[in-house]
Structure 1
Amino acid sequence: MELVIGRVAKAHGVRGELVVEVRTDEPDARFAAGVTLRGRLPRSSDLRDFTVRSAREHSGRLLVALAGVDDRTAADALRGALFVVDSADLPPPDDPDEFYDHELEGLQVGLTDGASVGSVHEVLHSAAGELLVVRADSDGREILIPFVAAIVLTVSTADGTIVIDPPAGLLDPE
């Protein structure tokens, strides 16, 4: 399974730098000079290898220079490209309470009394923290559940389940 670690938002400047929206907890390692990135080009299923020349933080994103992408035209052609890694190549997390997004997606979410809520559709990363996007069993709506210990009591990837104890109103339709 491929996991997205970054997305090219746009070109930056005239020397081929790319503005990359980071989707990894390890941007310094994933986008270090000399690292080979696998990129899925826009409107294509083809993967292409790119070598990072340099990367630097800029306004909450990375400015990345790639070998062979030397001008704005070449950089513009990569707008929307996704940088990916194979999930099989990822080491297991050191902390048993840490999970990769793909490990949580698809897990069944239930309450402490055993009632089913739905399944994790996506994990959103925001400035305030992670949110589980849960598709409700009852009506298919999306419920945002903060991924915090006070609400998410247990996660079992082996059993495919997450048990939550939500505060009043969190699961209520708006």
Structure 2
Amino acid sequence: MELVVARVGRAHGLRGEVALELRTDVPEERLAAGAVLATDPADAGPLTVESTRVHQQRWLVRFAEVADRTQAEELRGVELVVTADDSVEEDAWYPHELTGLRVELADGTPVGEVVGLEHPPAHDVLVVRETGGQRTVVPFVRAIVPTVDVAGGRVVLTPPGGLLARDADAVDGPGDGA
């Protein structure tokens, strides 16, 4: 399984450095000097990390194959990828491990299926296709997603009222006759 470590952003300076949009929790390991990373698209690489540094809270990387700003600009949008097995860390999952898991409430009520994982700035979110077909974005935080059971094929939610489309349907549904 290929995993995205980072996406190449803007060129930085004249000597070929690029800013990265990180997708890994361990950039110091994945982007260590000498690391060779495959790319997507494949014809942009592989790229060998020559050096890294953090500047104004952004990771800057220089690749051995990139000599100047022009070459660095050509890499913008390229994804750096690695081949990885399933995660062995507790409370850490790769997107491919989550996709397809059934989603249910703590009482076992079916909600739907995980169809993806997104990485907006605040925190990761699970993308859930509810049983009615609605696409719902669920903050991937322990308070709302207390259980991820990959082996059991399920994710348990304890959502606040109104988060799920099914909650909105219950509110907007037929009245009680009053």
Letter in 2 for 1:79: R
- Residue number in structure 2 paired with 1:160: 153
Please, which of 51, 65, 68 is the counterpart of residue 65 of structure 2?
Answer: 68
CA distance in 2, matches of 1:58, 1:171: 40
- Residue number in structure 2 paired with 1:5: 5
Stretches of structure 2 that go unaligned for 5 or more consecutive residues are: 170-178
CA distance in 2, matches of 1:157, 1:109: 11
CA distance in 1, matches of 2:39, 2:121: 26
- Residue number in structure 1 paired with 2:54: 57
CA distance in 1, matches of 2:132, 2:19: 40
Letter in 2 for 1:159: G
Are 1:84 and 2:62 counterparts? no
Question: 1:152 is paired with a residue of what secondary structure?
Answer: coil
Q: Provide runs of 4+ in structure 1 moved above 3 Å.
A: 125-128
* Contact 2:2-2:83 at 8 Å conserved across structures: yes
Stretches of structure 1 that go unaligned for 5 or more consecutive residues are: none
Give the 3 Å change call, closer, same or farther, for CA 75–47 of structure 1 in structure 2.
closer
The structure with the greater share of residues assigned to strand is: 1
How far residue 47 of structure 1 moved from its aligned partner, in angstroms, is 6.7
CA distance in 1, matches of 2:124, 2:75: 28
CA distance in 1, matches of 2:84, 2:27: 16
Question: 1:76 is paired with a residue of what secondary structure?
Answer: helix
Q: Aligned pair count? A: 167
Letter in 2 for 1:58: H
Alpha-carbon deviations, 1:19-67, whole Å to 9, x = none? 11100000111111111111223xxx54732111111123443111000
- Residue number in structure 1 paired with 2:128: 134
Are 1:103 and 2:97 counterparts? yes
Letter in 1 for 2:151: A
Radius of gyration: which is bigger?
2
Give the 3 Å change call, closer, same or farther, for CA 116–6 of structure 1 in structure 2.
same
In the superposition, the TM-score normalised over structure 2's length comes to 0.82
Alpha-carbon deviations, 1:94-143, whole Å to 9, x = none? x2x3322321122111112333222222223345433212122213x321
- Residue number in structure 2 paired with 1:28: 28
Are 1:119 and 2:113 counterparts? yes
| Identical counterparts, % of pairs | 47
The structure with the greater share of residues assigned to helix is: 2
Letter in 2 for 1:19: A
Letter in 2 for 1:66: F
* Contact 2:35-2:48 at 8 Å conserved across structures: yes
Question: 1:158 is paired with a residue of what secondary structure?
Answer: coil
Give the 3 Å change call, closer, same or farther, for CA 133–61 of structure 1 in structure 2.
farther
